[in-house]
Chain A
Amino acid sequence: MGQKGGGKSSPEADSSTPLAAGEERFRRFVDSVVDYAIFMLDVDGRVATWNAGAERIKGYRADEIVGKHFSIFYPPEDIAQGKPERELELATSTGRYAEEGWRIRKDGVPFWASVTIVAIRDASGELRGFGKVTRDLTERKAALEAVRRSEERLRLMIEAVRDYAIFMLDPAGRITSWNIGAERLKGYRADEIIGKHFSIFYSEEDRKRGHPDDELRRAIADGRYEEEGWRYRKDGSRFWANVLITALFEHDGRHIGFTKVTRDFTDAKRLREAQVAVQVRDEFISVASHELRTPLAALLMHIESLRRTAQPDDSAPRLRARLEKAAQAGQRLETLMNQMLDVSRISAGHLDLDPEPFHLEELVRDIAERFAEEVEIDLRVQPDVSGVWDRGRIDQVLTNLVSNAVKYGHGKPIEIELSAGEREAAIRVTDRGIGIEPDKLSRIFEPFERAVRAREFGGFGLGLYIARQIVEASGGRIEVESRPGQGSTFTVRLPRVAVEQKDEASGG
């Protein structure tokens, strides 16, 4: 400083002693600092100097403030409590006082200040005044406050989550936090469990093979570890847990613990298992009915062929009659197998219809004719009812209804009625038989339901279920009315206007 070539030195500084020049430069430097208020107080606390930073932060010009007591910067309640004086006393006794607190600008706006007060003494130790450095930290405080609030909100949120157990472990696996969800799921209160090792949730067997620590090792190695498995509650009951462990690291890479999120997947597991079981069942039914049909077809053909060629006078006793019965049993078996196949198609969504134009009254007459030997039929058919439906499937539906009417009809005459409007054709099949109890009515279109005891009447109880599926896939409806002891009426309504049959079918 002050040496030759110090081209930046001012002429004034050069004209003084080196020490004075240094002090002068320092004063100029302090004056020009704008980010800090740097000023001096006299021993009584009155402002003695003022820099640019002080003006900027507190809003007073030097000529307004020099000579005023520094308590002017404090909020009224601080002044009332004698805080400014206390700070000077502390600075005097300890040499220095520092704090963060609210101060007031000239315009009355408070700001969050970092304040340092230093006692200034001369060479003999006499107190000469105070140096004061004040910094406006309002923005930083707001930012910190925002972080704190957001952390608090997050913490409250996690604590309040009820469906997930969310808690933290220290690096050794001891529990350090506990939320409501964890309490609900595992049955421990926070004060019972914090500090315990998390292996308490595992089975004896898992603990013996070191599985809990294994999970932590893998979480550290891969950042996270996820699995599903059995975990145990405080009361000893178990649940199927989905567990996610995440290793926590500081910015410097130091491992500080784990977060653990556990969910109860017991219901989901049961549902999955049930779905798999249904799938396996459907596949089995599908394969079984396909595989059984082929040999049955051969068997039926042999029986039928023998029945035809057997003569009434054949040597084996009643050979013809017995072959007849064998053929009937085989046909019954075939019907059941077809029903199984239909149900497997329905549950796989493959009940495909093949609609074609045909005359419904012809089909109804055909069916009535087929049953004519078994029962007296009162047939009322409106002529010329054409439409576009899957003939084979509608045949199946009506055959099912008529054979039910015969089966449950007490041998009394049944009535088949076909009527049609412009938009809809309706086929009514009525019997005067045992009827259906009101509480059974709503269920008879469900699979494996029947209104009577299985032993008595046989069958899978699938006929009406399949019938409804076919009718609905054809865009129609099937309805039943019945009174116990008086008989039942089943009504099939089919749309005559063209419907999107293919879409309906694939949707079933």
Chain B
Amino acid sequence: MAADSILVVDDDQPLREALRETLELEGYSVVDMGSAVEALEYLRKHPRPRLILLDWNMQPMDAPAFMKELEKEPHLGSIPVVLVTADARADKKFSMGRFVDLLMKPVNLDALFSIIGRYAAQA
């Protein structure tokens, strides 16, 4: 994985792939994981990505649990994480974790690119 990469964590495969392919089309290097547990495992063994796009509602580990685990790892805790959720109560969820930003589902591409542009560079 390149240093300027983005990790997409979402248990909805079509959406995860759409995000990955959309970002790849825009020239980003993307890795996608179907669960928070897999994502943690990946992060422990690979160079840290520039940014994580994290779905809120996943089984068995949801976004808050993932954030807790992430913060335990000294070199991972500082990766910026953007919360991606369809929930109308997104603001409250957002304030619950150390997320750098919030993306609402369905994802608006302008908003997506604007946020990502701040943390990751296109290849």
Chain A contacts to B: CB under 8 angstroms: 293-302, 304-306, 308-309, 334, 352, 354, 392
Q: Is B1 an interface residue (CB 8 A)?
A: no
> Using Cβ atoms and an 8 Å threshold, which residues of chain A touch B123?
none
Known: A298-B17, A302-B18, A304-B109. 4 other contacts (CB 8 A): A294-B12, A294-B15, A301-B19, A354-B89
Q: Is B95 an interface residue (CB 8 A)?
A: no
Q: How far is it, in angstroms, between the C-alpha of A305 and the C-alpha of B23 when the chains are bound?
A: 8
> Using Cβ atoms and an 8 Å threshold, which residues of chain B touch A300?
106
Chain B contacts to A: CB under 8 angstroms: 12, 14-15, 17-19, 21-22, 25-26, 86, 88-89, 91, 105-107, 109
Establish whether residues A294 and B89, one from each chain, have CB atoms under 8 Å apart when the complex forms. no
Q: How far is it, in angstroms, between the C-alpha of A295 and the C-alpha of B14 when the chains are bound?
A: 6
Interface residue SS majority, chain A: helix
The one of B19, B89, B91, B106 in contact with A334, judged by C-beta atoms closer than 8 angstroms, is B106
Looking across the interface, which residue of chain B has its beta carbon closest to that of A308?
Answer: B109
Q: How far is it, in angstroms, between the C-alpha of A296 and the C-alpha of B86 when the chains are bound?
A: 13
The smallest beta-carbon distance between B50 and chain A, in angstroms, is 20
> Using Cβ atoms and an 8 Å threshold, which residues of chain B touch A306?
25
Establish whether residues A294 and B25, one from each chain, have CB atoms under 8 Å apart when the complex forms. no
22 of the cross-chain contacts (CB-CB < 8 Å) are A295-B14, A296-B106, A297-B107, A298-B12, A298-B14, A298-B15, A298-B17, A301-B22, A301-B106, A301-B107, A302-B21, A302-B22, A304-B22, A305-B21, A305-B22, A305-B25, A305-B109, A308-B109, A334-B106, A352-B88, A354-B89, A392-B88
> Using Cβ atoms and an 8 Å threshold, which residues of chain B touch A296?
106
Looking across the interface, which residue of chain B has its beta carbon closest to that of A330?
Answer: B106
Most chain A CB within a 10 A radius of its CB, from B12, B15, B107: B15
Establish whether residues A309 and B25, one from each chain, have CB atoms under 8 Å apart when the complex forms. yes
> Using Cβ atoms and an 8 Å threshold, which residues of chain A touch B109?
301, 304-305, 308
> Using Cβ atoms and an 8 Å threshold, which residues of chain B touch A294?
12, 14-15
Q: How far is it, in angstroms, between the C-alpha of A304 and the C-alpha of B111 when the chains are bound?
A: 13
The 7 closest A-B pairs by CB, nearest first: A298-B14, A305-B22, A301-B18, A298-B18, A297-B106, A298-B15, A309-B25
Most chain B CB within a 10 A radius of its CB, from A293, A301, A309: A301
Looking across the interface, which residue of chain B has its beta carbon closest to that of A356?
Answer: B91
> Using Cβ atoms and an 8 Å threshold, which residues of chain A touch B91?
354
Establish whether residues B88 and A297, one from each chain, have CB atoms under 8 Å apart when the complex forms. no
Looking across the interface, which residue of chain B has its beta carbon closest to that of A393?
Answer: B88
> Using Cβ atoms and an 8 Å threshold, which residues of chain A touch B17?
298
The smallest beta-carbon distance between B93 and chain A, in angstroms, is 12
Establish whether residues B25 and A297, one from each chain, have CB atoms under 8 Å apart when the complex forms. no
Q: How far is it, in angstroms, between the C-alpha of A309 and the C-alpha of B122 when the chains are bound?
A: 14
> Using Cβ atoms and an 8 Å threshold, which residues of chain A touch B105?
297
Q: How far is it, in angstroms, between the C-alpha of A40 and the C-alpha of B3 when the chains are bound?
A: 133
Q: How far is it, in angstroms, between the C-alpha of A455 and the C-alpha of B26 when the chains are bound?
A: 40
The smallest beta-carbon distance between B85 and chain A, in angstroms, is 12
Q: How far is it, in angstroms, between the C-alpha of A309 and the C-alpha of B28 when the chains are bound?
A: 14
Establish whether residues A297 and B89, one from each chain, have CB atoms under 8 Å apart when the complex forms. no
Looking across the interface, which residue of chain A has its beta carbon closest to that of B105?
Answer: A297
> Using Cβ atoms and an 8 Å threshold, which residues of chain B touch A304?
22, 109
Most chain A CB within a 10 A radius of its CB, from B18, B26, B89: B18
Q: How far is it, in angstroms, between the C-alpha of A304 and the C-alpha of B107 when the chains are bound?
A: 10
Establish whether residues B15 and A297, one from each chain, have CB atoms under 8 Å apart when the complex forms. yes
> Using Cβ atoms and an 8 Å threshold, which residues of chain A touch B86?
293
Q: How far is it, in angstroms, between the C-alpha of A352 and the C-alpha of B21 when the chains are bound?
A: 35
> Using Cβ atoms and an 8 Å threshold, which residues of chain B touch A334?
106
The smallest beta-carbon distance between B111 and chain A, in angstroms, is 12
The smallest beta-carbon distance between A474 and chain B, in angstroms, is 15
> Using Cβ atoms and an 8 Å threshold, which residues of chain A touch B19?
301
Q: How far is it, in angstroms, between the C-alpha of A306 and the C-alpha of B25 when the chains are bound?
A: 8
Looking across the interface, which residue of chain B has its beta carbon closest to that of A304?
Answer: B109
Looking across the interface, which residue of chain A has its beta carbon closest to that of B109?
Answer: A304
> Using Cβ atoms and an 8 Å threshold, which residues of chain A touch B21?
302, 305
Q: How far is it, in angstroms, between the C-alpha of A354 and the C-alpha of B89 when the chains are bound?
A: 8
Q: How far is it, in angstroms, between the C-alpha of A301 and the C-alpha of B20 when the chains are bound?
A: 10
> Using Cβ atoms and an 8 Å threshold, which residues of chain A touch B25?
305-306, 308-309
Q: How far is it, in angstroms, between the C-alpha of A309 and the C-alpha of B22 when the chains are bound?
A: 9
The smallest beta-carbon distance between B95 and chain A, in angstroms, is 13
The one of B12, B26, B88 in contact with A354, judged by C-beta atoms closer than 8 angstroms, is B88
The smallest beta-carbon distance between B11 and chain A, in angstroms, is 10
> Using Cβ atoms and an 8 Å threshold, which residues of chain B touch A295?
14
Q: How far is it, in angstroms, between the C-alpha of A304 and the C-alpha of B18 when the chains are bound?
A: 10
The smallest beta-carbon distance between B96 and chain A, in angstroms, is 15
Q: How far is it, in angstroms, between the C-alpha of A293 and the C-alpha of B15 when the chains are bound?
A: 11
The smallest beta-carbon distance between B114 and chain A, in angstroms, is 13
Q: How far is it, in angstroms, between the C-alpha of A294 and the C-alpha of B109 when the chains are bound?
A: 16
The smallest beta-carbon distance between B52 and chain A, in angstroms, is 18
The one of B12, B18, B88 in contact with A305, judged by C-beta atoms closer than 8 angstroms, is B18
Q: How far is it, in angstroms, between the C-alpha of A409 and the C-alpha of B22 when the chains are bound?
A: 38
Q: How far is it, in angstroms, between the C-alpha of A299 and the C-alpha of B21 when the chains are bound?
A: 12
Looking across the interface, which residue of chain A has its beta carbon closest to that of B12?
Answer: A294
Looking across the interface, which residue of chain A has its beta carbon closest to that of B19?
Answer: A301
> Using Cβ atoms and an 8 Å threshold, which residues of chain A touch B89?
354
The smallest beta-carbon distance between A500 and chain B, in angstroms, is 19
> Using Cβ atoms and an 8 Å threshold, which residues of chain B touch A302?
18, 21-22
Q: How far is it, in angstroms, between the C-alpha of A207 and the C-alpha of B15 when the chains are bound?
A: 61
Q: How far is it, in angstroms, between the C-alpha of A300 and the C-alpha of B108 when the chains are bound?
A: 10
> Using Cβ atoms and an 8 Å threshold, which residues of chain A touch B15?
294, 297-298, 301
Looking across the interface, which residue of chain B has its beta carbon closest to that of A306?
Answer: B25
The smallest beta-carbon distance between A300 and chain B, in angstroms, is 6
Q: How far is it, in angstroms, between the C-alpha of A218 and the C-alpha of B17 when the chains are bound?
A: 64
Q: How far is it, in angstroms, between the C-alpha of A471 and the C-alpha of B19 when the chains are bound?
A: 35
Q: How far is it, in angstroms, between the C-alpha of A240 and the C-alpha of B113 when the chains are bound?
A: 64
Q: How far is it, in angstroms, between the C-alpha of A302 and the C-alpha of B15 when the chains are bound?
A: 9
Q: How far is it, in angstroms, between the C-alpha of A308 and the C-alpha of B26 when the chains are bound?
A: 9
